[in-house]
């Protein structure tokens, strides 16, 4: 089946302007242009648009969607499974928000009391608690109380956008790292780019940056098996590779 802009727009529930914009930014180009200059979309484009809309629904920026779907290592099925997980998380959040509104109604009718904190539950993701639970102790032990406090304070002040940025940075690191690992050279451009991205990630998480801490964290990735497992899950040896790249990047050992 072939589609013109309007037909595809109707099918997907989006405007023709949106399709033209997606062409313009290179995120979804038509299969071909006919003799009159019309955009003609085919089966592949329909499927890609579906992927794009899944990402969009999850709040990913078009910039990031572009990087994801145009990446040579993009795995459609894997992406769908990620969508599934994210959507289930979103459902949990939505249910929290529904509980919130139910509680607020009960409160306004005088049946229960509610703290100010409760009034905003379900609006923001609970990434903080998870992070604290998972890695809090270790960071606290190795890097001291202060760093953790700062880290927490920063996290709390983050907006939804920041979280998204952080997540996209995360995926970018993963991708760059995967590519870099194939070259086998931590000092190469890709390896150094991964280190650079990782620096950005740290800066966002901690609200500040220092080479010492960066190098230290890199070593921890190798020393702590949970971190190692995380980085090695696709390719064993990745954690060591990242450490080496960072040590070269920071010029520290």
Residues that bind a copy of itself (CB under 8 A): 1, 6, 9-15, 18, 46-47, 50, 53-54, 57, 76-77, 80-81, 83-84, 87-88, 90-91, 94-95, 97-98, 101-102, 104-105, 108-109, 116-117, 119-120, 123-124, 156-160
| Whole-angstrom distance, CA of residue 249 vs CA of residue 120 | 41
35 binds, among DNA, a copy of itself, none (CB under 5 to 8 A by kind): DNA
| Whole-angstrom distance, CA of residue 86 vs CA of residue 146 | 32
Interaction of residue 61 with DNA, rule CB under 7 A: yes
Question: Taking the CA of residue 44 as centre, how many other CA atoms within 13 Å lie in the half-sphere pointing to its CB?
Answer: 8
Closest approach, Cβ 61 to a copy of itself, in A, equals 17
Residue closest to 213 by CA, chosen among 135, 152, 154, 139:
139
Structure tokens at 162: 């920041």
Cα-based angle 54, 58, 63 (whole degrees, multiple of 5): 85
Interaction of residue 62 with DNA, rule CB under 7 A: yes
Closer Cβ to a copy of itself, 9 or 30, answer by number = 9
Report the residue from 11, 17, 73, 84 that binds DNA according to the rule CB under 7 A.
17
CA end-to-end span of the chain, whole Å? 59
Interaction of residue 15 with DNA, rule CB under 7 A: yes
127 binds, among a copy of itself, DNA, none (CB under 5 to 8 A by kind): none
């Amino acid at each position: 089946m072939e589609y013109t802009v309007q037909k595809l727009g109707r099918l997907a529930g989006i405007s023709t302007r949106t399709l033209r914009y997606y062409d313009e930014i290179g995120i979804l180009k038509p299969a071909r242009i006919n003799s009159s200059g019309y955009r003609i979309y085919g089966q592949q484009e329909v499927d890609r648009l579906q992927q794009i809309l899944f990402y969009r629904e999850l709040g990913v920026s078009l910039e990031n969607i572009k990087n994801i779907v145009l990446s040579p290592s993009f795995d459609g099925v894997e992406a769908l499974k990620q969508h599934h997980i994210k959507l289930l998380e979103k459902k949990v959040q939505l249910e929290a928000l529904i509980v919130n509104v139910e509680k607020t109604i009960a409160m306004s009718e005088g049946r229960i009391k509610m703290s100010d904190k409760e009034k905003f539950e379900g609006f923001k993701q609970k990434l903080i608690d998870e992070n604290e639970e998972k890695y809090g102790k270790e960071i606290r032990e190795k890097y001291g109380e202060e760093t953790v406090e700062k880290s927490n304070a920063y996290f709390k002040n983050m907006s939804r956008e920041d979280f998204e940025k952080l997540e996209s940075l995360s995926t970018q690191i993963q991708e760059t790292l995967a590519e870099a690992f194939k070259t086998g050279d931590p000092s190469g451009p890709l390896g150094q780019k991964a280190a650079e991205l990782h620096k950005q990630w740290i800066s966002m998480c901690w609200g500040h940056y220092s080479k010492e801490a960066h190098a230290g964290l890199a070593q921890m990735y190798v020393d702590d098996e949970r971190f190692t497992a995380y980085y090695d899950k696709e390719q064993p040896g990745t954690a060591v590779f990242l450490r080496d790249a960072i040590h070269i990047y920071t010029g520290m050992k």
